[in-house]
A and B are shown apart, each in its own frame.
Chain A
């Protein structure tokens, strides 16, 4: 009986667990409850993914209202794939969390962290699974609002300001999305994505549709942190607590990319977006500029978290490059890169969290020589960094290789060349940190530091080893992503 309800349970279980956390008085109990919820959600997402791979996409009608009148939850290759890694990262990061949270967040606020974390997860899973456009907006707000709250819990006094900047930008983005959805609703009289796509097919290229398209694109570009709308991201990632940064950096922008791909490919159709209105050119240009500007900025950062934040902006550029190519290989590359970047960046931010716990700083000058006293943590950085650069046998290589071959096959030689050069920039900023960790004289604080505790190292290595595993065994990542891409390109989902 439970099996048939899984598509809604995957959203409802964390949603119910969040308020229940408020009623549990014991802090340990709250944590264990939230942890169990996260792993259960991960289990459900794997089950849904297995079911989709076995018998194809299926859907669930909320309240038994028939489509298109009611809300529909759709589990297909793309949504199941994204949900599986979002909930997986959520579970691993929360497993890692307790020591880091104790260190970085005032104990009186602990009871707020777990409900917010679960709500954020709820929102992101909801964005993935829903087949209703207004629902996307609602879930986007759930995940955004809870992430603003989580970011503002950071230890630094600048955390609330960073959260506020993100709130202002994020609200503008969400409002634009809502205006776009409103216009589409006015145009078609429906909110169901499939139904809306069919209605829009009859009404090709009216002014309203164009305006809706513009609003939705700009709104989601803010959420995805596409250059030049990325300004909220570095501060938000830098001043948030390490655990929150790891979770949000690994998932939030990817889910926005998911929503963007879903809306552009399934509702507006690539013909309208790319062929008629030339979005592909804009995306390519801004992605490439973003990759170069953000990677160059990352090289000059003195703060490890900020360095990774700029690198995230660059990596979103790679995903969108794939999306903008509008063909099987490119789109597959973009989707795989969502997954690969999620585990790479999640793993690296967990490494940063280990440094923050032991050294109480993530400024590069305070990390000098840390490889001597924290060898395992430092080595995790090296492995993660290799993934970020895209060295063969790591997950980062797979997606960059796919993007590169897609670019070469389609004659985008300039794009391919720039991609290769931009990987060199990644080498620079990753190596800079490696050099400081391994080849500098240890600072005093580093001399007296100890290796990070196992309770944090094991989850960190879970993701780091994942980078290597998915660099070799690609049938899960690339296999599912290419099925998702062909479903997206094959017209109606």
Chain B
């Protein structure tokens, strides 16, 4: 891609907006269309675009495969951990009502809002990492002998 300065420049210009849009879809998902899955895919699309244009090593410097693997697990833990937290707080599994609190009311999300926020965050983390790992698997394949 070294021979295509336009693509490189445009990608660099677009990158912050793609990432920002991903975070918008993620964190505005509880008020409008969006959510963890969509946001994760958009974020991963940003990463994959970066990898396509600047090469796999550059992307792996930004998102090391080992870290991405951990993030896959972390997302699931955030989701299931939310459920465990609600159980520890006296509710049922994923009963967000148990997440009611009185810290900074009106500023911090609470109850159902906080619950869905955390769960979607977990989904977002895992989807981003899984999409990136799929890209790594395809892009990182060694060529078959003799071809």
- Give complex CA distance A23, B66 in Å: 11
Task: Tell whether A22 pairs with B70 under 8 Å between CB atoms, given A12-B80, A16-B80, A16-B84.
Answer: yes
- Chain A min CB distance to B145 (Å): 14
Contact of B69 among A16, A22, A64 (CB under 8 A): A22
- Give complex CA distance A18, B91 in Å: 24
Secondary structure class of chain A's binding surface, majority of residues: helix
Is B73 an interface residue, CB under 8 A from the partner? yes
Task: Tell whether A5 pairs with B69 under 8 Å between CB atoms, given A12-B83, A19-B76.
Answer: no
For B70, list chain A residues within 8 Å (CB). Answer: 22-23
For A19, list chain B residues within 8 Å (CB). Answer: 72-74, 76-77, 80
Segment at the interface with B among A55-63, A324-332, A361-369, A482-490: A55-63
B96 touches A63 (CB 8 A): yes
Is B97 an interface residue, CB under 8 A from the partner? yes
Is A8 an interface residue, CB under 8 A from the partner? yes
A23 touches B73 (CB 8 A): yes
- Give complex CA distance A15, B41 in Å: 23
For B77, list chain A residues within 8 Å (CB). Answer: 16, 19-20
- Chain A min CB distance to B12 (Å): 33
Task: Tell whether A63 pairs with B92 under 8 Å between CB atoms, given A19-B73, A19-B74, A23-B70.
Answer: yes
Query: Which chain A residues numbered 2 to 19 have a C-beta less than 8 Å away from chain B?
Result: 5, 8, 12, 15-16, 18-19
B92 touches A60 (CB 8 A): yes
Task: Tell whether A12 pairs with B74 under 8 Å between CB atoms, given A61-B92, A64-B95.
Answer: no
- Give complex CA distance A64, B91 in Å: 8
Is B42 an interface residue, CB under 8 A from the partner? no
- Chain B min CB distance to A367 (Å): 35
Secondary structure class of chain B's binding surface, majority of residues: helix
Which chain A residue lies CB-closest to B98? Answer: A64
B81 touches A12 (CB 8 A): no
For B91, list chain A residues within 8 Å (CB). Answer: 64
Interface string of B27-46 (1 = CB under 8 A from A): 00000000000000000000
Is B94 an interface residue, CB under 8 A from the partner? yes
- Chain B min CB distance to A424 (Å): 49
Query: Which chain A residues numbered 305 to 339 have a C-beta less than 8 Å away from chain B?
Result: none
Task: Tell whether A12 pairs with B97 under 8 Å between CB atoms, given A22-B73, A60-B92.
Answer: no
- Give complex CA distance A16, B74 in Å: 10
- Give complex CA distance A12, B86 in Å: 13
- Chain A min CB distance to B20 (Å): 28
B76 touches A5 (CB 8 A): no
- Chain A min CB distance to B18 (Å): 27
- Chain B min CB distance to A210 (Å): 33
- Chain B min CB distance to A63 (Å): 4
Q: Give me the 10 closest cross-chain CB pairs, A-B, nearest first.
A: A19-B73, A22-B73, A64-B95, A63-B94, A8-B93, A19-B76, A64-B92, A16-B80, A63-B95, A19-B77
Could you list 9 A-B pairs, sorted by A, with CB under 8 Å? A12-B80, A16-B76, A16-B80, A19-B73, A19-B76, A19-B80, A62-B92, A62-B93, A63-B92
Known: A15-B76, A16-B80, A60-B92. 14 other contacts (CB 8 A): A5-B87, A8-B83, A8-B93, A15-B80, A16-B76, A16-B77, A20-B77, A22-B69, A22-B70, A22-B72, A63-B93, A63-B94, A63-B95, A64-B97
